[in-house]
Amino acid sequence: MENREFEELSANSKKSDRHKSTPIQAYFNFVKSNLGIGAIVLPFVTYSVGWFWSIFLFLPVAYSCVQSSILLIAVADHLAVDKILYADVIRITLGLKWAFSLDIAIVLQLVGICIAYLIFLTESVTQSLLSIGVEFEKWQSLCMTLLIIFPLSYIKNIHFFHLTSKYGFYAAIMGFVVVLYDCYLRFSKGLYSFDNAINIRNSFHYVGVAILCCEGILTILPIRDSMVNKLDFKMVAINSMITAFGISIFIALITVPIYQSEIKPILIFNLENPYLQFISIVFYSISLLLTYPLQLFPAVQIIERMILEKQSYQELQQQPQINEFENNQIQNDTENSMFADTKIQIVIRTLAMMSIYFIAYYVPHLSHFLNFMGSIFGSLLQFCFPVLAHMIHFQKTSEPQPKGTYTFVLIVAILAMVLGTIESLRAMM
């Protein structure tokens, strides 16, 4: 598509400024989309590689995430198309086949993340009830989460989270504060050790989870689109990622020397005081509940778009003068039809949730599962696709290409995909 066509497309896009988010609201939205389940599993895998060695593993992952996000934002800003999604960027720059591959990878990663959230919430319910003498089986705890998870799954408007994401961020911070207080109590009793500093052999048990601490790549463009001035989003995104990554690594480095070999796969279950554990579980559960729909949003949006495009195929054939990208934009601008409460959309969300619940019941070990998801889909979505899109889009322009950044990010991605996947499969089998 030529630049002239994009300019015309942008000029014809009439979007109201109602419900637009401020930079602060976008900041909290993006922090919350990055500060997910990976943050409370990271301490467990940090212990497996050693607290000191984890710093050298986390820094290149975090740097690559920031750089790849900047590359994706740069392509979206240069295209200057309203309501553009990650898949639209790949479709325009790499073609339809690559865009379809991206869609599949997005759906699988987000379903995996939602499964991890559900496992945490299920275990939280089980642990909380156990503290008051009530013992539940896993399937019973899963059923209890239905009361909250299912209604949240039908929220279709990302603007709903402008206010709630801020409180979700505060809830996550409060949950971590309770953990830090427990660490302080243990430290004051001399219950700490810095002996486990380096364990290079387990490096690729760590990398995939570290990538999922940077899981916000899929919400970058929807949050960017929600801002009044999209060009301000680059700095908002950088500050948000630095905040989220800083919190994740700080919590891991504090808790590992304290809990040592007793550390559990889910951080907040290490608290021995039942009252502190309950408070921490409540806070972090609230945080994940407010993040869960943000992660489910792009996956369901992709599936809905695929089905709606098939339904409108005959209409598209009757209008050959409108190309696919322009038709995509027109569909987005016509009364938000893709997000309407239709029977098809309700069925899609219901089936998606049933699949997530079914898989969550059979997942054996959360940290290995997250490492597997991060190593494959996290590397593809967070690293590979943004680099390729930026490389192809700007190769025929006068814009300088950061070849050093391309090389570094792709090396991190390939190592994580190959070695991380092998280690995860070996651990789960």
- Tell me the pLDDT tens digit for each residue of 317-359: 455 444 444 444 444 443 443 344 567 777 878 888 888 888 8
Tell me what pLDDT residue 386 has. Answer: 94
Report the C-alpha gap between 298 and 107 in whole angstroms: 8
- Please tell me the predicted confidence (pLDDT) of residue 414: 93
Q: Taking 90 as the threshold, does the pLDDT of residue 409 lie above it?
A: yes
Examine the pLDDT at 19 and tell me if it is beyond 50.
yes
Beta bridge mates, 227: 21
Dist CA 388 CA 412 (whole Å): 14
Residue 187 CA: distances (Å) to CA of 173, 194, 371:
20, 12, 30
40 vs 12, which has greater pLDDT? 40
CA atoms within 13 A on the CB side of 166: 11
Tokens 């390729």 belong to which residue? Answer: 388
Instruction: Return the structure tokens found at 293.
Output: 């729909």
Average pLDDT score over the chain:
79
SS3 content of the chain, % helix, strand, coil (to 5): 80, 0, 20
On whether the CB atoms of residues 54 and 253 are closer than 8 A, the answer is yes
pLDDT tens-digit series, residues 114-148: 888 888 888 888 877 776 677 788 778 888 887 77
Task: Give the Cβ contact number of residue 307 at 10 Å.
Answer: 14
